[in-house]
């Protein structure tokens, strides 16, 4: 299901999209395409795509969303201030956490990417289901600073 509400080009309005995905590893590519299509003109699109990819992969690898019949949901909100991405999963025993960058393990550093690229991120929920949220302010081209609004 895809839901779109309002028109973000009008002052004071926002856009909202929500889509469910099967909990399989091949869906990360589909999630990136979904976000890329919706946010084509967003200045920090590459950062958003890396983060939404990481969050989708985490949902499949580390939660019940990756089991047979599992699903996860991606929500994208865009307004004049920027973009917020939510990835909701079916929960599991672990919690999202940053790993020590000096650990000599081959994986588990994805949230460090999220931490580096998003202006903020957080999670809520419990073993029955969690949502990870990442925010991206609209940045003026070439300045590295948020656009004046």
SS3 43: coil
What's the pLDDT band for 17 if we cut at 50, 70, 90?
A: very high
pTM, to two decimals: 0.82
pLDDT higher than threshold 50 for residue 81: yes
pLDDT higher than threshold 70 for residue 101: no
At residue 134, the pLDDT reads 97
Comparing 46-50, 90-94, 141-145, the range with the smallest average pLDDT is: 141-145
In degrees rounded to 5, what are phi and psi of residue 121?
-150, 155
Give the residue carrying structure tokens 């949901």.
Answer: 73
pLDDT higher than threshold 80 for residue 23: yes
Secondary structure (DSSP) of 88-123: E----SS---PPPTT---SS--HHHHHHHHSSEEEE
Q: At what angle do helices 27-38 and 45-62 cross, to 10 degrees?
A: 150
pLDDT higher than threshold 50 for residue 148: no
More confident residue, 109 or 120: 120
At residue 66, the pLDDT reads 96
């Amino acid at each position: 299901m895809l839901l779109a509400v309002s028109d973000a080009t009008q002052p004071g309005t926002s856009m909202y999209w929500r889509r469910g995905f099967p909990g399989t590893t091949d869906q990360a590519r589909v999630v990136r395409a979904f976000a890329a299509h919706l946010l084509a003109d967003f200045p920090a699109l590459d950062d958003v795509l890396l983060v939404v990819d990481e969050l989708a992969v985490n949902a499949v690898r580390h939660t019940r969303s990756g089991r047979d019949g599992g699903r996860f949901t991606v929500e994208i909100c865009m307004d004049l201030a920027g973009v917020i991405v939510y990835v909701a999963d079916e929960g599991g025993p672990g919690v999202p956490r940053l790993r020590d960058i000096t650990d000599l393990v081959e994986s588990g550093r994805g949230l460090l990417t999220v931490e580096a690229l998003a202006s903020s991120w957080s999670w809520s929920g419990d073993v029955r289901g969690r949502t990870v949220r990442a925010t991206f302010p609209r940045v003026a081209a070439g300045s590295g600073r948020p656009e004046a609004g």
